[in-house]
Chain A
Amino acid sequence: NAGVTQTPKFRVLKTGQSMTLLCAQDMNHEYMYWYRQDPGMGLRLIHYSVGEGTTAKGEVPDGYNVSRLKKQNFLLGLESAAPSQTSVYFCASSRTGTATYNEQFFGPGTRLTVL
């Protein structure tokens, strides 16, 4: 099992460019999440999905879009990148979304720099 994988690992963009980050999981998990991690801020939820074909906004959704066309994949898009979106992006998945059994498995992260 590969667990949760993310593509690419590193990326440098110019302001205004667009890109898509791909997350894939092979654990048949229903729930998937996108977080961003900035120094001193912890992990903040951007968007999440509770199943194939569904998406919902998290704490910091502005400037991002997501899609979950297949259960195993969760895509994060930046339509017009801004320097404020320079961050490390983590994808995660969990079998359920309950408060009591919500162990999340994280991918290795994507380090994005916007110039």
Chain B
Amino acid sequence: QQPVQSPQAVILREGEDAVINCSSSKALYSVHWYRQKHGEAPVFLMILLKGGEQKGHEKISASFNEKKQQSSLYLTASQLSYSGTYFCARPENSGYSTLTFGKGTMLLVSP
């Protein structure tokens, strides 16, 4: 069962903030975030390993609540280059494991 992402799509003006949420009905040992620009391959953004831990990438940060099995991606002062589809992914177990990806959240930043 895939992680559930919300919202499905977001439209922003440059400089605005956005939050993308990811929740899982299965245990979250870690959360992985990827971004895919239109017509390109997905690119790794970050991994969150511990409950409550926050990591950052440019002006993109994320949080991970292990108990609630949720993660949120925060995009601050969005830039045109942030446009794309954002995916969260979770490993299937705590050891060696494949990833299961969510269906994605499409983000469009306009001038």
Interface residues of A (CB under 8 A from B): 33, 35, 40-45, 48, 50, 58-59, 90, 96-109
**B43-59 interface mask toward A, CB cutoff 8 Å, 1 = contact, 0 = none?**
11001010000000000
- A90 and B42 in contact, given A42-B87, A42-B104, A100-B47 (Cβ under 8 angstroms): yes
Q: Are B96 and A43 in contact (CB under 8 A)?
A: no
Q: Can you show 15 pairs from A to B with CB atoms below 8 A apart?
A: A35-B101, A40-B103, A42-B2, A42-B87, A43-B101, A45-B98, A45-B100, A96-B96, A97-B98, A98-B97, A99-B30, A99-B93, A100-B29, A100-B49, A102-B47
Interface residues of B (CB under 8 A from A): 2, 29-30, 32, 34, 40-44, 47, 49, 87, 89, 91, 93-104
- A102 and B103 in contact, given A42-B2, A97-B98 (Cβ under 8 angstroms): no
Q: Give complex CA distance A90, B43 in Å.
A: 12
Q: Are A44 and B98 in contact (CB under 8 A)?
A: no
Q: Are A108 and B40 in contact (CB under 8 A)?
A: yes
Q: Give complex CA distance A96, B98 in Å.
A: 10
- A50 and B96 in contact, given A102-B91, A108-B41 (Cβ under 8 angstroms): yes
- A104 and B41 in contact, given A42-B87, A99-B93 (Cβ under 8 angstroms): no
Q: Are B87 and A100 in contact (CB under 8 A)?
A: no
Nearest chain A CB to B18 CB, angstrom units: 19
